[in-house]
C-alpha cells in the first residue's frame, strides 16, 4: 500500500471556526509532513514529524497546530484562520532513513471565508 490519504477533500470554513485536517499512511513511514500550496506556486513546507516528534516548524502561525497521535496519523488543527490561508494543504510521508522520497496525498482544498 503506497497511498497517503487525506480527509476531507474540500473544506470551507469561517474565520471563527475550528476544524481539523487528517492524513493517514500505512507504509510504515516514520516521517510525516504538512505542506501548503497556493495556486500556481510550489508546495511550501510547514511542519515535519519524525518518529512522532515535531522536528521542523517553518515559523508557521499558531493558528495552525499539528498533531501526530501515532506513526500512521497526522492532523492539522485550524483555528481563527484568515482568507489568505486558503490553499491546497498537502500531507506527505517518507521512510526517514536518509531515503527522503516523499509520498504525497491528494490534498485538502481549503477555503476560508
Partner 1 sequence: SQKIEQNSEALNIQEGKTATLTCNYTNYSPAYLQWYRQDPGRGPVFLLLIRENEKEKRKERLKVTFDTTLKQSLFHITASQPADSATYLCALNSGGYQKVTFGTGTKLQVIP
Query: Which residues would be at the binding site for partner 1 (CB under 8 A)?
Result: 4, 31, 33, 41-45, 48, 50, 55-56, 88, 90, 92, 94, 96, 98-107, 109
To partner 1, the closest distance from the beta carbon of 99 in angstroms equals: 8
Q: Which residues contact 34 (CB under 8 A, 6 or more apart)?
A: 23, 45, 46, 47, 66, 74, 76, 89, 90, 91
Rounded to a whole number of angstroms, the minimum distance from the CB of residue 80 to partner 1 is 26
Residue 7 or 14: which CB sits closer to partner 1? 7
Shortest separation between residue 70's beta carbon and partner 1, angstroms: 19
Alpha helix (H) ranges present in 1-113?
Answer: none
Half-sphere exposure in the Cβ direction for 93 (13 Å, CA): 25
Query: Which one, 79 or 106, has the nearer CB to partner 1?
Result: 106
Secondary structure of residue 3 in the 3-state scheme: coil
- 89 neighbors 76 (Cβ within 8 angstroms): yes
We find the least distance from the C-beta atom of residue 110 to partner 1, in angstroms, to be 13
Closest CB to partner 1 among residues 6, 78: 6
Amino acid at each position: 500500500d503506497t497511498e497517503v490519504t487525506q480527509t476531507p477533500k474540500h473544506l470551507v470554513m469561517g474565520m471563527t471556526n475550528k476544524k481539523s485536517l487528517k492524513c493517514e499512511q500505512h507504509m510504515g513511514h516514520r516521517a510525516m509532513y504538512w505542506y501548503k500550496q497556493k495556486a500556481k506556486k510550489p508546495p511550501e513546507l510547514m511542519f515535519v514529524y519524525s518518529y512522532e516528534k515535531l522536528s521542523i516548524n517553518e515559523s508557521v502561525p499558531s493558528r495552525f497546530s499539528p498533531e501526530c497521535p501515532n506513526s500512521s496519523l497526522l492532523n492539522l488543527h485550524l483555528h481563527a484562520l484568515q482568507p489568505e490561508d486558503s490553499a491546497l494543504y498537502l500531507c506527505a510521508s517518507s521512510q526517514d532513513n536518509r531515503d527522503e522520497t516523499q509520498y504525497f496525498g491528494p490534498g485538502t482544498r481549503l477555503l476560508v471565508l
